[in-house]
Amino acid sequence: MRFLDCPPRYLFFTGKGGVGKTSIACATAVKLAAEGKRVLLVSTDPASNVGQVFGESIGNHIKAIAAVPNLFALEIDPQAAAQVYRDRIVGPVRGVLPDAVVKGIEEQLSGACTTEIAAFDEFTELLVESALTADYQHIIFDTAPTGHTIRLLQLPGAWSGFLEEGKGDASCLGPLAGLEKQRAQYKAAVAALADPARTRMVLVARAQRATLREVARTHDELASIGLSEQFLIINGVLPEAEAKQDVLANAIHQRELAALNEMPDILKALPCDQIPLKAFNLVGLDALHQLLLTDVHPSESVLQGEAVAIHAPSLASLVDGLAADEHGLIMLMGKGGVGKTTMAAAVAVELAQRGLPVHLTTSDPAAHLTDTLSGSLPNLTVSRIDPHAETERYRQHILNTKGAKLDAQGRALLEEDLRSPCTEEIAVFQAFSRVIREAGKKFVVMDTAPTGHTLLLLDATGAYHREVSRQMGGTGVHFTTPMMQLQDPKQTKVLIVTLAETTPVLEAANLQADLRRAGIEPWAWVVNNSVAASYSQSPLLRQRALNEQKEIELVATVHAKQYAVIPLLHQEPVGLDRLQALARPQPATSE
């Protein structure tokens, strides 16, 4: 494995949920420990299952892994760290400031960025020379801070009062005054991250266009702040030998080859390793020892058995419930790479096929989907929003208004605040909101949506419904704000899209909790790209289908009020016929 050639002291594994970064980090730690190196494995992943992988409880104190000499582990709970961080800021002002102000500060501190900053605050101690880390030759992190978080820590420590004075706009960060560590320690930690002799960033992706685009953005973001020592791992690549046994396996293999050939040039320039797809769950030492091996013959290690065929509701069954309303807003939500845009298109096509008027509005950067659908189906209209253009327009508006009277330091803070993930959500959703009003007469299907946290920020700052209020205010006429419309299940239905894998399901459950905090109850879940809902003769895929069943059962019985399972198709679902096949899959067959 090239990423293990002359490894530096610090190894960071980063990537979207479900790509396998925790498993690879654990396998790396085991391999280095077996070579006689004293290794500390650190997790700051909210969905961490490091303890489960090793079969023992770890927690937030360094603990020796009994079964692996030389290996020690630490799980930093980012949610707990964020709660301590929030309490430190909100506690002194509770009962002093008006309740509405306190509530606003709490919401500013409830986003994903704040959680990440609090976690980074916890582990900066591990990136500087200290008695705590002196004994370890390698420290491995199973997640990494974003470039946005690192840039924030490089800025002047003047966040206290910045947002309270109204200089910022809707922010997902809130003031950074609650950070405990000294600026000198942050400076030393950032210097360690940027030193290629000490730190290596390992980008983890799957052989899929969406995840490769995401990891290319991560590469650019980290490289822009000097984190240049980067390696790429393409995880879970279906072995060619497996593809020869089965039509579905061959289709997956060809799709992965195409994605790798079309991968962004910036990624092609990185040292790259491919890790073959494994049939087994990556739990226990035997599994970890095998993960980084490239010569495993998957079919030999798979439990043989009858093909698994699940009986779960189809997307068409969900559309039956949607169609009964004859109009309304349908929002598809989920983490990157789960197929939100494709699911939105499938829902829109199925509704239009039933003779219902539909407007599909997409922020998909791959315009081929729009091109395929445009004008090709009665009752369906399609509009596309450019996320980059909308975000830049929004940033410039805020800088030209709120930023106009700021000094250089204040403007630097505002510019960084506008690089936060919430900014793109806000900008794109404002563009989407222009077509939301159509939902009173037709279906509006939206392929992405802001998190509950962002919606609360938009509502709190008035940025979301300011225009409605200005137009209607003082007239005595009753009006419904967009937030009220989203909270009304008769007007808006949210479909959460996920995959039948542990981390994506956990992330979807967290997203659902986030929406509920904003008073929005998800209407249904959609489990996409399920091998268990397909038919395969491949032993490896059959075993993975068995593994999926537990996650599908969890969605069906714990998380979702209603759900659908979408099979993994032989061909990519682009075009009307294939989108219809998603909604109305054929029964499993061996032919």
CATH number reported for the structural domain that contains residue 513 in this entry? 3.40.50.300
Determine contact, residues 39/136, Cβ cutoff 8 Å: yes
Summarised one tens digit per residue, pLDDT across range 560-585 is 999 999 999 888 887 788 888 888 76
Mean pLDDT of 102-110: 78
Mean pLDDT of 303-312: 63
pLDDT of 302 > 70? The answer is no
Give the pLDDT score at 477: 43
CA gap 38, 539 in Å, rounded = 38
Q: Which residues are catalytic?
A: 18, 20-23, 45, 503
Is the same domain home to 286 and 381?
no
- Residue partners of 213: CB distance under 8 A and separation at least 6: 264, 365
Q: How far apart are the first and last CA of the chain?
A: 39
Q: Which residues form the domain of 282?
A: 2-293
308 located within any domain: no
Look at residues 293, 327, 347 and tell me which one is the last residue of a structural domain. Answer: 293
Percentage of residues in the chain having pLDDT higher than 90: 39
Lowest mean per-residue pLDDT among 160-169, 395-404, 503-512, 559-568: 160-169
Place of tokens 């294939």: 578
Q: Does 139 or 128 have the greater pLDDT score?
A: 139
C-alpha Rg value of the chain to the nearest Å: 24
Domain count, the chain: 2
Q: Does 410 or 492 have the greater pLDDT score?
A: 492
Is the same domain home to 249 and 363?
no
CA gap 195, 10 in Å, rounded = 10
Collapsed DSSP state (helix, strand, coil) of residue 498: strand
Is the same domain home to 203 and 339?
no
Helix segments in 168-208, DSSP class H: 183-194
pLDDT of 162 > 50? The answer is no
Is the same domain home to 235 and 363?
no
Is the same domain home to 178 and 285?
yes
306 located within any domain: no
Summarised one tens digit per residue, pLDDT across range 441-456 is 999 999 887 788 778 7
Give the pLDDT score at 499: 94
Is the same domain home to 286 and 365?
no
Q: Nearest-CA neighbor of 569 among 524, 523, 531?
A: 531
Mean pLDDT of 77-100: 83
**Mean pLDDT taken over the chain:** 83
Look at residues 240, 259, 293 and tell me which one is the last residue of a structural domain. Answer: 293
Is the same domain home to 484 and 353?
yes
Is the same domain home to 347 and 287?
no
Is the same domain home to 339 and 288?
no
Residue 22, CB-side half-sphere exposure with 13 Å CA sphere? 23
Is the same domain home to 33 and 158?
yes
Give the pLDDT score at 572: 81
Summarised one tens digit per residue, pLDDT across range 4-43 is 999 999 999 998 878 888 889 999 999 999 999 999 999 8
Is the same domain home to 239 and 109?
yes
